[in-house]
Amino acid sequence: MTADDLLTRVSASAPVDSTLLTISAQDADPVRAAAIANALAEELIGASPAVQGHQAEFQASIDADLKATQDQITAMQAQADTLTGLPSRTAAQNADLAVLEDRLVSLRATYATCCPMLTCGSLAFT
């Protein structure tokens, strides 16, 4: 049986509200149909740890990037708070504050856009 033959005989479905995958195979011989579906399932199960390992690495990378973004926001907010708390600011300090505020808006927008897609925890900004 060729790969093209399998394409016409095998189907898989994954309901959105489940982690299960249903594999169906069609053949004139029901025993052979079951064997085809089971063989495909075994191959998928065998490949699963490798796929999960890559997903875990990818998620760890994303988490590290988001944490770095959170840290940048916190540091910039502290700098902005320091400048805002000054009784009087020089023109250079006002310019620095404007740059910080612009960067904060951009970082927060990026973070807010990414987190809902990635199911982030909550982060409160003041």
Question: Whole domain around residue 86: which residue ranges?
Answer: 3-118
Crossing angle (nearest 10°) for helices 30-84 and 91-118: 160
Q: What is the pLDDT of residue 124?
A: 41
Helix, strand, or coil here: 27?
coil
Q: Is residue 126 situated within a structural domain?
A: no
Note the pLDDT tens digit of each residue in 17-70: 777 788 888 989 888 888 888 888 888 877 766 655 666 777 778 888 888 888
- CB of 55 closer than 8 Å to CB of 104: no
Taking alpha carbons only, the member of 86, 13, 1, 75 closest to residue 39 is 1
Residue carrying structure tokens 């620095």? 96
Name the pLDDT band for 100 (thresholds 50, 70, 90).
very high
Q: Which of 66, 64, 58 is nearest to 116 (CA)?
A: 66
Give a yes or no: residue 53 inside a domain: yes
* Dist CA 68 CA 114 (whole Å): 13
Cβ atoms of residues 26 and 33 within 8 Å: yes
Residue 120 has pLDDT above 60, yes or no: no
Q: Is it the case that residue 97 has pLDDT exceeding 80?
A: yes
Q: Report angle CA 17, 121, 19 to the nearest 5 degrees.
A: 20
In this prediction, residue 41 carries a pLDDT of: 83
Please tell me the predicted confidence (pLDDT) of residue 21: 80
Say how many domains are in the chain: 1
Confidence of residue 79 (pLDDT cuts 50, 70, 90): very high
DSSP state at residue 17: T
